[in-house]
Amino acid sequence: MLNALESAIMEKGIVLEDHILKVDMFLNHQIDIPLIEQMGRDFYDYFKKYEINKVLTVEASGIAIACFTARCFGVPVVFAKKGSHKNVGDNVYSAEVYSYTKGKTVQINVSKEYLNSDDKVLFVDDFLANGAAANGVIEIIRQSNAQLMGVGIAIEKGFQAGGKMLLSSGIDLYSLAIIDKMEKGRIYLKRRELC
């Protein structure tokens, strides 16, 4: 049976050219709140085995998912900010992330005030493709000496390298939907291993 996100992808997702999946009608431009809330519960059900005390994400599309996940855990969200902001200051952990969507490298920053060696972190994001954003966040977690407990991804592009890279690093990765391939406008989901 498909979960809530998988159903939404199959019903509403649109394959654009260049293997881009358009899901901005419910995920990353318009936000379907009951769906995102269910995704938060799904992440909680999987990761509640850990003592998570902070949910980390990257602005902007990860924030809604992170909020509803953090709500289930009863913990705060911290979102990495892109670029340099006056309000963040120099007291930050930083990493460079190449954005394929924007076609450029952006710096992501997390204030040292909100991440440290006491933190047990769940990183959540909307997409996992090549793992560029995930690598940046992992680098920031490394700098902070926090502990990465797991990575929760809404949509993993299974035909790109990010998922394998994280799993081979021993990271507990849980993707709500894995796109196996997109062909002639059709979306093929990878069957999840349930047992």
Residues lying near a copy of itself in the complex (CB under 8 A) are found at: 16, 20, 22, 24-26, 28-33, 36-37, 59-60, 63-64, 66-68, 70-71, 74-79, 81, 83, 85-88, 101-103, 110-111, 113-114
Q: In the complex, what is the shortest distance from the CB of residue 1 to a copy of itself, in angstroms, rounded to a whole number?
A: 25
**Helix, strand, or coil (residue 82):** strand
Task: Return d(Cα 34, Cα 42) in angstroms, integer.
Answer: 12
**Would strands 54-58 and 186-189 be described as parallel, antiparallel, or unpaired?**
unpaired
Q: Which of residues 26 and 173 has its CB atom nearest to a copy of itself in the complex?
A: 26
Q: Which of residues 88 and 189 has its CB atom nearest to a copy of itself in the complex?
A: 88
Q: Rounding to the nearest 10 degrees, give the CA dihedral for residues 141, 146, 149, 151.
A: -20
Q: Which of residues 59 and 164 has its CB atom nearest to a copy of itself in the complex?
A: 59
Rg (CA), the chain: 16
Task: Return d(Cα 58, Cα 67) in angstroms, integer.
Answer: 12
Q: In the complex, what is the shortest distance from the CB of residue 56 to a copy of itself, in angstroms, rounded to a whole number?
A: 10
Contact 50, 122 (CB under 8 A): yes
Q: Which of residues 30 and 117 has its CB atom nearest to a copy of itself in the complex?
A: 30
Q: In the complex, what is the shortest distance from the CB of residue 82 to a copy of itself, in angstroms, rounded to a whole number?
A: 8
Q: In the complex, what is the shortest distance from the CB of residue 147 to a copy of itself, in angstroms, rounded to a whole number?
A: 18
